[in-house]
Structures are given as structure tokens and as C-alpha cells.
């Protein structure tokens, strides 16, 4: 049973730590006792705290159940496997560590892919926070996450016992397509909700930044007042993977405060036709894997780029669709090959290329005074294991 670890004696693989100058903390925030509220994990520059524990990577067993559904595994089997192999995995961010004020940080809103949730892009979010960004990783409630939840109040009779908390988690699991249902219709509806959830998260962080009191129904001991006046409100971007990449495009079209966007291995199916007519005004970077893309998808990206020098597309050689989420770092050989979690390129190198290109792009379009411009060549697809544009042939087939 090799599964996630290459040998029984070996420690689990590690999600890479941030390489920037800041220590990183993370905390969860949920507003309102209803499905319409915001739910996100915030990654942020933190005081170095050796006495604070790292955050759990997958915080509840229900996420294992949701992943099992998404992967068409029996829940009882999937839950045991996930718990055994990744139950003890932590991400290299300190849970509820004290926020490090003193400068205004740019804000990045992150949108997860289909069947994912807020915690499993921590390698990207932690790197961004270590480089001086506040990152709000949204957990979407459009039934595209493998699992998510909101908190609802129990009735008086239910919570009469002293030991019973008066709030309970109401779980929402991934919704599969119904028989005969057209996927594009469902995904377009979902991406509209996802974009609104990204804008809602932006509004929430700006509300906290302005000093307004926000009730976190999850009751962590993180001091939200410490974020007051710490967000650079003129430097805000949106980023996402796969379905989250489509969410980036929709969010840019709806919210001008997002000054630029980064779409990682984007899935274009959910994007509405109106987006191509009106185009996206803001700069946009597409970072693709070598193995996931196909001609129809690439043609849609090209239509959106259409000779705008502020819109770029690059491809990471040897990478796969799962080179962006964290599973690529915590999986051993057999499982990695079976679920295509690893490409031919080393996972750490792939994520470094993606992160460095992202940082260079963000520096340029958010006018940051950092040294990320040393990676400018990556944005043009120049460097080891990266190519400009795409590896996919989109030329029309020759008539026979």
C-alpha cells in the first residue's frame, strides 16, 4: 500500500513553505449564519511564532467524504484512505498567528477549482503571503466544491442541553450533473455565483480594513482589528485555478476594483458569450499546464487575448492540471500516476515557475515596488520549462 507515501517509514511529503521575507499565518472567516454569507481562509504576513501550531490542511472529515463523491469512491473507503494518508498533513502557515502590521499589503482574492475547496491551494497562497500579499481564498457554495458548509443556529429545543453548541454545520456537497443536463448551462450559472462570492470577499476584507466590526461565526481567537488600515485598497487582484480561472474572468468583467487577474490552467466552458463581446479591460495572465489544454479551450483564450499586450499566455512544460493544487506535493508515485497528480516536471519547480510568473505580472500591473521584475522573462514564456503561448495546435484541420 504505497499510496501517498513512498514507504511506510517515510514522513509524509511536505507542502512547500513560502520563500518570501514574511512568516505566514492563516485563519478562517465565515460571516452570517446563512448560505449567502462569505467563507474564506485568509493567508497573511504574520509575526514569527514558534509556539503556534501549523494549520491543518484538510480541517474536517466531511471534506474527505466530498472528495470521495467527486472521485466516485465509496465514502467509507475514501474517508478512511484520506484520513490515513493525509489526515495529519499540515500546511506551512501558523494557525491564527498574530498579523504583522506596519505596511499596506496588496490584496489577492483566490478562487478554487471544481471539486476543490479553500485550503488545498496553500502552496500558492502561502508563497503570495510570504511575499507581502494578503490572500483571501474563497470557499464557493455553488455546489462546485467537493464539500463546504455554513453555520446555522439550532432551535431552542435542540440547544437546551448545556453541552450542545447553539450553532451547527450545514454541509453542502458537490453536485453531479443530472441525466440529460447540459453542463455549460449549469457551469455558467455557477460561475456567476462564484464571481459574486469573490466580490463579496473583497467587500468583506475592505470592510475589515476600514475598521468595521465583523462577526466571525467560527469564533477563532484571531484579532480582526489588527487588519485595520493594512490593505492597499488601490492594489487588488484576483487569481484562480481551472473553474477558478473562469471565475477570475467573470470577476474581472463585473468588478473594476480587481486591477488584474491570473488564470491557472483555465477551464473556459463556464465563461459567458457576453465576455468575448465586451472583452476584459484589465490585464490578464494565463498560465497553462502542458497536458490539460485542448484546441477549443485555447481558441477561447486567444479570442479573449486578441492582440492586447497586457494579456499573456504561457505554458509550463511537463506539468499537468494537478500541478497547481497541493495534492501534487503530498502524493507518492502510484497514487500520483493514477490520479495524474504529478507531471514529468518536479512539482516544486512547476509551482515556482507559476508563482514567479504571477509575482512578476502582479508587480507590473499593480505597480509594486518589489524585486519580482527579475522574473519578467517568465511572463513572456522565456526560460527553462516554460514556453510562450501554447503547445496546442489550433490551426484548422486540412480538408481531406
How confident is the prediction for the chain on average, in pLDDT?
A: 91
Q: Which residues of 245-274 are buried (b: 16+ CB within 10 A; e: fewer)?
A: bbbbbbbbbebebbbbbbbbbbbbebbbee
Q: Where is pLDDT greater, at 11 or 116?
A: 116
Place of cell 497573511: 44
pLDDT, residue 33, reads: 67
- Asked about 22 being catalytic, the answer comes back as no
**Residue 363 and residue 252: Cα distance in Å, rounded?**
18
Q: Say which of 68, 242, 289, 358 is annotated catalytic.
A: 242
- The residue among 335, 356, 327, 350 whose CA lies nearest residue 91 is 327
- Flag whether pLDDT at 334 surpasses 70: no
pLDDT, residue 176, reads: 94
Q: Say which of 28, 69, 265, 326 is annotated catalytic.
A: 265
Q: Is residue 29 a contact partner of residue 91, using CB atoms and an 8 Å limit?
A: no
Instruction: Kindly report, residue by residue over 346-376, the tens digit of the pLDDT.
Output: 999 999 999 999 999 999 999 999 999 999 9
- Asked about 242 being catalytic, the answer comes back as yes
Length of the chain measured in residues? 400
- Output the CA torsion sign for 372, 374, 380, 385: negative
Place of cell 518536479: 346
In the chain, DSSP finds a helix count (H) and a strand count (E) of 10, 13
Query: Looking at the domain 23-56+92-388, which fold is it?
Result: Rossmann fold (3.40.50)
Alpha helical stretches, state H, 43-121 = 61-70, 75-86
Model pTM score: 0.94
**Residue 69 and residue 64: Cα distance in Å, rounded?**
9
Name the band, by pLDDT with cuts 50, 70 and 90, for residue 161: low
- Asked about 321 being catalytic, the answer comes back as yes
Q: Say which of 321, 323, 331, 354 is annotated catalytic.
A: 321
Between the ranges 8-17, 201-210, 330-339, where is the mean pLDDT highest?
201-210
Instruction: Kindly report, residue by residue over 307-324, the tens digit of the pLDDT.
Output: 899 999 999 999 999 999
Q: What angle do CA 115, 110, 83 make, to 5 degrees?
A: 40
Amino acid at each position: 500500500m504505497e499510496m501517498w507515501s513512498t514507504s511506510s517509514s517515510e514522513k509524509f511529503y511536505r507542502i512547500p513553505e513560502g520563500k518570501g521575507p514574511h512568516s505566514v499565518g492563516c485563519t478562517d472567516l465565515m460571516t452570517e449564519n446563512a448560505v449567502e454569507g462569505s467563507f474564506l481562509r485568509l493567508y497573511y504576513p504574520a509575526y514569527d511564532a514558534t509556539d503556534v501550531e501549523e494549520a491543518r490542511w484538510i480541517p474536517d472529515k466531511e471534506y474527505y467524504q466530498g472528495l470521495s463523491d467527486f472521485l466516485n469512491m465509496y465514502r467509507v473507503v475514501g474517508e478512511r484512505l484520506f484520513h490515513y494518508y493525509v489526515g495529519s498533513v499540515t500546511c506551512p502557515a501558523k494557525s491564527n498567528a498574530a498579523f504583522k502590521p506596519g505596511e499596506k499589503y496588496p490584496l489577492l482574492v483566490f478562487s478554487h477549482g471544481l471539486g476543490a475547496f479553500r485550503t488545498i491551494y496553500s502552496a500558492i497562497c502561502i508563497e503570495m503571503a510570504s511575499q507581502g500579499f494578503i490572500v483571501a481564498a474563497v470557499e464557493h457554495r455553488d455546489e462546485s466544491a467537493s464539500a463546504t458548509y455554513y453555520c446555522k443556529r439550532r432551535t431552542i429545543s435542540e440547544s437546551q442541553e448545556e453541552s450542545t453548541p447553539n450553532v451547527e454545520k450545514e454541509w453542502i456537497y458537490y453536485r453531479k450533473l443530472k441525466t440529460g443536463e447540459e453542463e455549460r448551462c449549469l457551469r455558467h450559472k455557477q460561475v456567476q455565483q462564484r464571481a459574486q462570492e469573490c466580490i463579496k470577499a473583497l467587500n468583506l476584507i475592505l470592510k475589515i480594513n476600514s475598521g468595521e466590526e465583523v462577526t466571525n461565526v467560527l469564533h477563532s481567537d484571531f484579532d480582526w482589528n489588527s487588519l485595520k488600515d493594512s490593505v492597499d485598497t488601490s492594489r487588488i487582484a484576483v487569481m484562480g485555478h481551472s473553474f477558478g480561472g473562469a471565475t477570475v474572468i467573470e470577476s474581472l468583467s463585473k468588478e473594476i476594483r480587481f486591477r488584474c487577474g491570473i488564470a491557472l490552467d483555465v477551464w473556459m466552458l463556464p465563461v459567458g458569450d457576453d465576455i468575448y463581446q465586451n472583452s476584459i479591460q484589465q490585464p490578464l495572465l494565463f498560465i497553462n499546464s502542458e497536458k490539460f489544454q485542448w484546441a477549443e479551450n485555447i481558441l477561447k483564450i486567444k479570442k479573449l487575448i486578441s492582440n492586447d499586450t497586457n494579456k499573456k499566455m504561457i505554458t509550463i512544460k511537463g506539468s499537468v492540471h494537478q500541478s497547481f493544487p497541493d495534492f501534487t506535493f503530498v502524493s507518492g508515485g502510484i497514487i500520483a500516476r493514477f490520479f495524474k497528480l504529478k507531471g514529468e516536471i518536479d512539482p516544486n519547480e512547476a509551482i515556482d515557475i507559476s508563482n514567479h510568473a504571477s509575482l512578476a505580472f502582479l508587480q507590473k500591473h499593480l505597480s509594486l515596488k518589489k524585486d519580482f521584475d527579475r522574473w519578467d522573462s517568465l511572463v513572456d514564456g522565456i526560460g527553462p520549462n516554460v514556453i510562450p503561448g501554447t503547445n496546442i495546435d489550433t490551426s484548422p484541420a486540412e480538408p481531406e
